């Protein structure tokens, strides 16, 4: 928690999912800078200043925007970026692994930006939809999965990630949960390392295609390969409101 003497009026967001959250909190007019990966809401690409990516920023552009606060995330942004931004103004660095972490962040933003009522509305929707989904999923069988995020090298989401938390919520047993974060894996050992029922190919950050599904399928025993919306599995914030409906649809078509 950071403490400011007054409500920040000019915000630079270096985290796509948090940019969307700011919009849903009613802070559109306060957001002055975003990254090229901040694709929601769509019109921000036209109306906000692009300050670079999440790993490489244009520090002079950020300085020129004269922000009151810069929003970062421990996973999305490097320590070097946080340090550089700290020389400009206050920096808030989020660290999220669970839905409860997300709810805490929304509550903190509500307080920080004087949007407590809007924050509470978002939190209430997330909690209601979460309870509804938990009732839906409780009798669904547990399925073993491998969640791929990259190719060349092949990389997966493992333990201690927001993705793994949501996989568990979906009654998906991550065969790589014994590993940490986003490790490289050998797909030739897919059967030995857990022989999943499902291979999930995320829509981001890598643009997986049918040939990649076929390549992975050669090394599994009976796994069904499914392309999934990576935003619903990895974006925290207000996107969670609709994530549970997506998860229901995903489960129903398996």
pLDDT value at residue 160? 97
Assess contact for 167 and 160: CB atoms under 8 A. Answer: no
Exposed / middle / buried, residue 182 (Cβ in 10 Å: 0-12, 13-18, 19+): middle
Is residue 149 classed as helix, strand or coil in its secondary structure?
strand
CB atoms within 10 A of CB 177: 18
The boundaries of every CATH 3.40.50.1980 domain in the chain are: 11-130, 139-252
pLDDT value at residue 2? 76
Assess contact for 62 and 81: CB atoms under 8 A. Answer: no
Longest dimension (CA), the chain: 60
Q: Which residues make beta-bridge pairs with 143?
A: 172
CATH architecture of 11-130: 3-Layer(aba) Sandwich (3.40)
pLDDT value at residue 5? 83
- What is the rounded distance in angstroms from the CA atom of residue 18 to the CA atom of residue 165? 18
Rounded to two decimals, the pTM is 0.95
Q: How far apart are the first and last CA of the chain?
A: 41
Write out 198-209 in H/E/C secondary structure: EEEEECCCCCCC
From the list 215, 8, 207, 208, the residue with the least C-alpha distance to 91 is 8
Note down pLDDT in tens along the chain; length 254 residues.
677 889 999 999 999 999 999 999 999 999 999 999 999 999 999 999 999 999 999 999 999 999 999 999 999 999 999 999 999 999 999 999 999 999 999 999 999 999 999 999 999 999 999 999 999 999 999 999 999 999 999 999 999 999 999 999 999 999 999 999 999 999 999 999 999 999 999 999 999 999 999 999 999 988 999 999 999 999 999 999 999 999 999 999 99
Is residue 159 classed as helix, strand or coil in its secondary structure?
strand
- What is the rounded distance in angstroms from the CA atom of residue 84 to the CA atom of residue 64? 14
DSSP characters over 163-193: HHHHHHHTTEEETTTTSBSS-B--GGGTTTT
- What is the rounded distance in angstroms from the CA atom of residue 132 to the CA atom of residue 30? 34
CATH architecture of 139-252: 3-Layer(aba) Sandwich (3.40)
């Amino acid at each position: 928690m950071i403490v400011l003497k007054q409500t920040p009026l000019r915000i630079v967001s270096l985290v796509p999912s948090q940019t969307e959250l700011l919009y849903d909190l009613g802070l559109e007019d306060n957001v002055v800078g975003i990254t090229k990966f901040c694709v929601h809401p769509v019109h921000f690409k036209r109306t906000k200043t692009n300050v670079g990516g999440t790993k490489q920023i244009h520090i002079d552009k950020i300085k020129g925007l004269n922000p009151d606060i810069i929003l970062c995330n421990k996973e999305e942004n490097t320590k070097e970026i946080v340090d550089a931004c700290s020389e400009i103004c206050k920096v808030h660095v989020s660290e999220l692994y669970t839905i409860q972490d997300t709810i805490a962040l929304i509550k903190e933003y509500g307080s920080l930006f004087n949007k407590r009522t809007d924050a509470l509305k978002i939190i209430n929707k997330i909690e209601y939809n979460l309870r509804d989904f938990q009732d839906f999923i409780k009798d669904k069988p547990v399925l073993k999965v491998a969640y791929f995020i990259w190719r060349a090298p092949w990389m997966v989401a493992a333990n201690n990630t927001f993705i793994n938390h949501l996989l568990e919520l979906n009654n998906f047993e991550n065969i790589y949960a014994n590993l940490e974060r986003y490790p490289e894996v050998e797909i030739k050992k897919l059967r030995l390392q857990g022989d999943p029922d499902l291979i999930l190919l995320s829509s981001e950050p890598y643009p997986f295609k049918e040939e990649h599904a076929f390549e992975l399928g050669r090394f599994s025993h009976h796994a069904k390969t499914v392309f999934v919306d990576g935003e619903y599995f990895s974006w925290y914030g207000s996107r969670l409101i609709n994530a549970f409906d997506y998860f229901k649809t995903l489960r129903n078509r398996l």
